[in-house]
């Protein structure tokens, strides 16, 4: 596993790792959160890297770009194949767009969870915002939420549970095998969603010590910017 400097060493894993799809977007921010929880985590894009994954995170970024890369690198059949074998999925923002069965006014991509998503539903990048909300299934404390040119989940189908609804739109939902959030927990000090997903994958993350990760600050994620 490629370790990120400054994060704790992983605990001995109860079996399986979590991969973060490494095509575009917020890959290292997710890896950092998983490693803070002691989860064996790695970036993935090639077939052999998908072996032994209990779960896969499709990060936020730009869904049109991600969808093109999925096709160019032929990653789509890998994700669908491993999903059918039991690998759990979590899509954040653009990742949730890729996983939705219905996209308002556009052709869907992977279609692995029965939700309808409307892209760029709040407006432009300038309409990005942060807020806080209690999410009882996921976190004992109110969670900080970061929405970046976010989509809205307009409706969920049968077998999909709404985890968070604010201001009339659905911001987080899950089926037994797929979690979707239209915000970015990986850009906050909140580890609750990563802990929740790790448990959904059957893994044992470090237990909740309450509140935000004290070693995370608002600039923590900037050290992952892949600018050369």
Dihedral sign, Cα of residue 177, residue 181, residue 182, residue 187: negative
Q: 210 φ, ψ to 5°?
A: 85, 140
State which of residues 97, 143, 198, 203 lies at the interface with ligand GLN (CB under 6 A). Answer: 97
Q: Which of 87, 43, 95, 93 is nearest to 203 (CA)?
A: 87
By CB under 6 A, residue 149 contacts ligand GLN: yes
The two structure tokens encoding residue 58 = 């499709």
By CB under 6 A, residue 91 contacts ligand GLN: no
By CB under 6 A, residue 120 contacts ligand GLN: yes
Q: Please say which residue, 54 or 66, places its beta carbon nearer to ligand GLN.
A: 66
- Dist CA 197 CA 77 (whole Å): 22
By CB under 6 A, residue 119 contacts ligand GLN: yes
Q: Please say which residue, 204 or 224, places its beta carbon nearer to ligand GLN.
A: 224
Is 93 labeled as catalytic in the residue annotation? yes
Relative to beta strand 41-44, strand 169-174 is: unpaired
By CB under 6 A, residue 62 contacts ligand GLN: yes
- Dist CA 39 CA 12 (whole Å): 8
Is 109 labeled as catalytic in the residue annotation? no
Positions marked catalytic: 93, 184, 186
The residues binding ligand GLN (CB under 6 A) are 60-63, 93-94, 97, 119-120, 148-149
């Amino acid at each position: 596993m490629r370790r990120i400097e400054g994060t704790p060493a992983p605990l001995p894993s109860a079996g399986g790792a979590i991969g973060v799809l490494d095509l575009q977007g917020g890959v290292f921010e997710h890896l950092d959160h998983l490693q803070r929880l002691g989860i064996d985590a790695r970036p993935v894009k090639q077939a052999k890297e998908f072996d032994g994954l209990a779960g896969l995170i499709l990060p936020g970024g730009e869904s049109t770009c991600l969808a093109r890369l999925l096709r160019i690198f032929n990653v789509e059949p890998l994700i669908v194949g491993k999903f059918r074998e039991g690998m759990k999925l979590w899509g954040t923002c653009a990742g949730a767009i890729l996983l939705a069965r219905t996209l308002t006014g556009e052709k869907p991509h992977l279609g692995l969870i029965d939700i309808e998503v409307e892209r760029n539903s709040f407006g432009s990048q300038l309409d990005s915002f942060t807020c806080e909300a209690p999410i009882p299934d996921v976190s004992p404390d109110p969670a900080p939420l970061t929405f970046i040119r976010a989509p809205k989940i307009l409706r969920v189908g049968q077998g999909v549970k709404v985890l968070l609804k604010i201001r009339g739109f659905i911001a987080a939902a899950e089926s037994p095998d797929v979690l979707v959030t239209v915000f970015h927990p990986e850009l906050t000090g909140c580890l609750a969603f990563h802990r929740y997903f790790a448990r959904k994958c059957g893994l044992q993350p470090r237990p909740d010590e309450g509140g935000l990760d004290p070693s995370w600050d608002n600039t923590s994620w900037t050290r992952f910017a892949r600018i050369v």
